[in-house]
Copies of this chain bind each other. A is one copy, B any other.
Amino acid sequence: MSGEFAYIEWLRKRTPTHPRVLIGPGDDCAALAPGTRPLLVTTDMLMDGTDFLLAEVDPRRIGRKAMAVNLSDIAAMAGVPIAAVVSVALPQITNARKLAEELYLGMREMADRFQVPIVGGDTNSWDGKLVISVTLFGEATERGSVRRNGAKPGDWLYVTGPLGGSILGRHLDFMPRIAEALALHEAVDLDAMIDISDGLSADLHHILEESGCGATLDADAIPIHPDAILRSQSSGRPPLEHALTDGEDFELIFAVSPEQIHRVPSQYHRIGVCTPSGYTILEGTTPRPLTPRGWIHPLS
């Protein structure tokens, strides 16, 4: 780890002590006290023009999103977040230092909600656009972590909240479902879980592929966010399509066996059921094939 020295000092002063942090920012590595449970690791990179528009958005919101998308991955495994490291490539603008500080404060704002210290990083400047890469560590609970691959035919499928239209702003301001995931994992045997980054239809498909099963969704049961209706007015596509494919909702999809469903809190939305094969959505009584389509990654 390297980076500009005065900025490292500024970071250091703002890094609170934390029982797990043996060495914080300012050495070649950070050091964390070892835990007794499996260490979860996730990393996500956000780029100006793809994941946010620096010209239009308060850098604190960008910082919050950079941290929150990683927290969402820990939530998807029902893990407890522990600590983060952050790398940035800053554009060569006159107030780059201010930008770096605002990004950091945004990341800290989100991280602080989950008692996650930022223990190190690498701050760079270059002739390109802003890039932020966060790596987050967490720990499985004593109940283990929840994978994508445990869904079984007959399992009921749920989402934690309404979907679609996140591009109107929620993709920057969502709250990662850490608390919800931990409470669920405590109360219910979760067979599989994933967070919605690519869109319901694409991310549920990841669960199905990994689990080797299919699913039938109930169109009427899919919770549609008011933003999906707003988007629909400008796109001309039905709100349901936005809920299925928009992505960056960062709600959780989870699968629960029928014997366990009475333990699922009533605020969650049962959207369908796992089947031996196939991938369809019922609109009324008419099944329509679903494609694993969502946010199209440019490399696909």
Q: Which residues of A are in contact with B by a Cβ distance under 8 Å?
A: 1-7, 22-23, 26-45, 47-50, 73-74, 76-77, 79, 83, 85-90, 92, 96-97, 100, 119-129, 131, 133, 135, 137-138, 140, 145, 147-149, 193-195, 197-198, 206, 210, 297-300
Query: A29's contact among B32, B40, B149, by CB below 8 Å, is which?
Result: B40
Q: Determine whether the beta carbon of B45 is less than 8 Å from that of A77.
A: no
Please state if B41 and A30 are interface contacts (CB–CB under 8 Å).
yes
The number of times this chain is found in the oligomer is 2
Q: How far is the CB of A74 from chain B (nearest CB, A)?
A: 6
Closest partner residue, chain B, to A135 (CB atom)? B135
**Cα(A137)–Cα(B135), bound, Å:** 11
Contact B87 A23 (CB under 8 A): no
* A29-B76, A89-B47, A124-B47 known; A96 vs B41 contact (CB < 8 Å): no
Would you give the shortest CB distance from A41 to chain B, in whole angstroms? 5
Residues of B within 8 A of A299 (CB): 3-4, 6-7, 90, 96-97, 100, 123, 125
**Nearest Cβ on chain B to A119's Cβ, whole angstroms:** 7
Chain B residues near A5 (CB-CB < 8 A): 206, 297, 300
Q: Are the C-beta atoms of A30 and B34 separated by less than 8 Å?
A: no
Closest B residue, CB atoms, query A2: B197
* 28 contacting pairs across A/B (C-beta < 8 A): A1-B44, A4-B299, A6-B299, A22-B38, A23-B145, A23-B147, A27-B77, A27-B147, A28-B74, A28-B76, A28-B77, A29-B40, A29-B77, A31-B39, A31-B140, A32-B39, A34-B39, A41-B85, A41-B120, A41-B137, A43-B122, A43-B133, A43-B135, A47-B89, A47-B131, A85-B135, A87-B133, A128-B128
Q: Which residues of B contact A138 (CB under 8 A)?
A: 29
CB distance from A12 to the nearest CB of B (A): 11
Q: Give the residue of B41, B131, B137 whose beta carbon is less than 8 angstroms from that of A131.
A: B131
